[in-house]
Structure 1
Amino acid sequence: MTLYDRTGFSYDTTRRADPYLAGRLSALLGITANGTYLDIACGTGNYTAVVARQGGQWHGVDFSTRMLNNALGKSRSIQWTKADAHHLPLVDKAFSGAMCTLALHNFRDLAAAFKETYRVLISGKFLIFTTTPDQMRGYWLNEYFRDAMAKATQQMPALDLVLEALKDAGFSYVETEFYQVSPGLQYLFLYSGKHRPEVYLDPEIREGISAFSSLADPSEVEEGCRRLSEDIQSGQIGRVMRDYENSGGDYLFVIAEKP
């Protein structure tokens, strides 16, 4: 069983689509009623299903059987397919847009995956929501889970590599938009607790975050949570959070286009 087959159990409780993020995905992708759209590494389809309400015909692909089984229960109008992003079982020029959220760290070869995306697009936008190693080094989680964060950061491709791979695949007009985590964020990914440190004390939430469930040593998590709990109770967490404040964004949208 793969990591994402295991975490598929908890994804739907910790990864509910956030209204703001869903709205930005819809707006940046430029959805039209007659368009055809692809969600690459769609997971349990939380964002696919919500964004698809804005219009168009949708197709979601993921390599996890359990994730896709969960996705199937969200919408029967969306076509769900088990597939590797590096080898999409889809015909050329089938879609007018594509998106990929928080999945680049799973790609073995960015260039190959982006070339496949380019191949299946007629023309239009390829929208990526991700984070970068530089951004992750600005997370106050580093204060409590340094080794786990180092491993998670190492997995994430740098922005210049992402942009280079997109251009090599043929995409043009590549731009970025920073995203700062908001206090009311519903989608509980790695830094979703930026303003709510207590969420990291919940084992169910940690189970849905691969940095904790897959990369972290259990003893580090136990010790980090103990220190975090003490700092929350004493108020020391406020100083730690201020020390990590920066203007580089927590995540970002990368918007590429096939002419």
Structure 2
Amino acid sequence: MAYTDYDTIGTGYDGTRQADAYLLGRLWDLLALPAGARVLDVGCGTGNYTSALQVLGLSMTGVEPSERMLAEARTKDPEVAWVIGSAEALPVADGSFHGAIATLTTHHWTDLEQGFSEVQRALLPGSPFVLFLATPEQTGRYWLSHYFPDAIARSCEVLPSVPATRSSLERAGFRIAAEEPYAIRPTLQDLFLYSAKEEPQRYLDEGFRKGISTFAALTGSDELNTGL
């Protein structure tokens, strides 16, 4: 499923990506852990949510395969343990965390079930694991597909489906406690793919597109010029 070279596009990524207050609040509430609890952020990227949860009182470890993304992350909070590594081979000890999160990252993993199994291994028994993800069922309905059909189709190909995600979690030993839909909010601060659905003019901005992997990695120049 992995397709994005974040060592290439990592520079400037944070120009449009930051921890969104609403999403941060949902991560905090769903983790429901006391101050000082050890939490693993799998595929932490530049560490926006990792560092924000650290500020709220959790003891965070961020694991990220991209050297460039992690270099950006390290500038945000020296108290966070920033570690190079992949979801499929987490460089952490068994049973060392009270909770884990993975935000908009599972479509970059090479083996979904192996990644979930590694998270399960890293957690203490009964610990929460909070996922925030996009799905092909959802992405295929975006109006962007009218303008960038090939890019959106490629995005859908790499996004794990809802059934695949559920079954991979269960095979890795997780019990799915709840699923919660998410709708784009006008105040969204983390400007991912569909964040500008009500402000389409923002897609004309190269700087805006640079922080979105669908445009940075999956949209050819011909399709981009035609779509814009």
User: Equivalent of 2:78, from 76, 81, 98?
Assistant: 76
In 1, the alpha carbon distance for the partners of 2:12 and 2:157 equals: 25
Whose strand proportion is higher, 1 or 2? 1
Question: Could you tell me which amino acid in structure 2 is paired with residue 224 of structure 1?
Answer: G
- The alignment of Structure 1 onto Structure 2 pairs a total of residues equal to 224
In 1, the alpha carbon distance for the partners of 2:93 and 2:21 equals: 32
In 1, the alpha carbon distance for the partners of 2:176 and 2:184 equals: 26
Question: Could you tell me which amino acid in structure 2 is paired with residue 138 of structure 1?
Answer: R
In 1, the alpha carbon distance for the partners of 2:98 and 2:150 equals: 41
In 1, the alpha carbon distance for the partners of 2:7 and 2:176 equals: 36
Gaps of at least 5 residues in structure 1 are 226-259
Q: CA deviation at 1:184?
A: 2.0
Structure 1 stretches of 4+ with a deviation exceeding 2 A read none
Q: CA deviation at 1:207?
A: 1.5
User: Equivalent of 1:111, from 109, 113, 129?
Assistant: 113
Q: Is the 8 A contact 1:23 1:51 kept in 2?
A: no
Find the counterpart in structure 2 of residue 65 from structure 1: 67
Q: How is 1:29-178 mapped onto 2 (pairs within 5 angstroms)?
A: 29-123=31-125, 124-178=127-181
TM-score normalised by the chain length of structure 1: 0.84
Q: CA deviation at 1:117?
A: 0.2
Q: CA deviation at 1:51?
A: 1.8
In 2, the alpha carbon distance for the partners of 1:8 and 1:31 equals: 31
Gaps of at least 5 residues in structure 2 are none
Question: Could you tell me which amino acid in structure 2 is paired with residue 174 of structure 1?
Answer: A
In 2, the alpha carbon distance for the partners of 1:223 and 1:108 equals: 31
Q: Is the 8 A contact 2:53 2:60 kept in 1?
A: no
Identity %: 42
The question of 1:207 aligning with 2:221 is answered no
Find the counterpart in structure 2 of residue 3 from structure 1: 5
In 2, the alpha carbon distance for the partners of 1:192 and 1:93 equals: 36
Q: CA deviation at 1:173?
A: 3.5
In 2, the alpha carbon distance for the partners of 1:17 and 1:61 equals: 17
Q: Is the 8 A contact 2:152 2:214 kept in 1?
A: yes
In 2, the alpha carbon distance for the partners of 1:127 and 1:17 equals: 16
In 2, the alpha carbon distance for the partners of 1:213 and 1:131 equals: 17
Find the counterpart in structure 1 of residue 200 from structure 2: 197
Question: Could you tell me which amino acid in structure 1 is paired with residue 175 of structure 2?
Answer: S
In 1, the alpha carbon distance for the partners of 2:193 and 2:29 equals: 24
Q: For the pair shown, which has the larger CA radius of gyration, 1 or 2?
A: 1
1:197-233 deviation per Cα after TM superposition (whole angstroms, max 9, x unaligned): 11110001111111111111111111111xxxxxxxx
3-state DSSP of counterpart to 1:172: coil
TM-score normalised by the chain length of structure 2: 0.95
CA RMSD of aligned residues (A): 1.1
Q: Is the 8 A contact 1:193 1:199 kept in 2?
A: yes
Question: Could you tell me which amino acid in structure 2 is paired with residue 15 of structure 1?
Answer: R
User: Equivalent of 2:223, from 212, 220, 230?
Assistant: 220
